[in-house]
Amino acid sequence: MVCEGHLLCQTKLKVDFAIVLRKDPKELEKTLRKRGYGELKVLDNVFAEINSYCKKEVQKRYSKDKIIVAVHKKNLKQTTSKIIKEIEKRRKK
């Protein structure tokens, strides 16, 4: 099962892996503005990313071996590929 969403970092679920997607704050701001999000939503999301909010919350709830942090840089296919490779690598251990 795959669950997604920024509120998941505030819950503790029985999971194989907890994946935290990161994005450069400037790129995140551009993306959110392009999608037409309001000023408060944009600022809130950029502030949370700058302060590693989701990463810190996940670290409070899950063991280090379950956490995968992936930085989304270019495109979804590349990011997904990196995540899948990391999962496969950890499952072999």
Where residue 49 sits, what CATH number does that domain have? 3.40.50.300
Residue 1 lies in a domain: no
Q: How far is CA 78 from the centre of its chain?
A: 15
- Residue with the bigger pLDDT between 6 and 59: it is 59
What is the rounded average pLDDT for all residues in the chain?
Answer: 92
User: Do the Cβ atoms of 46 and 6 come closer than 8 Å?
Assistant: no
What does the pLDDT look like over 55-87, one tens digit per residue?
999 999 999 999 999 999 878 899 999 999 999
Residue 56 lies in a domain: yes
What does the pLDDT look like over 31-49, one tens digit per residue?
999 999 999 999 999 999 9
Q: Residue 79 belongs to what domain range?
A: 6-92
Instruction: Give the predicted TM-score (pTM) of the model.
Output: 0.86
Work out how many domains the chain is built from and give that number: 1
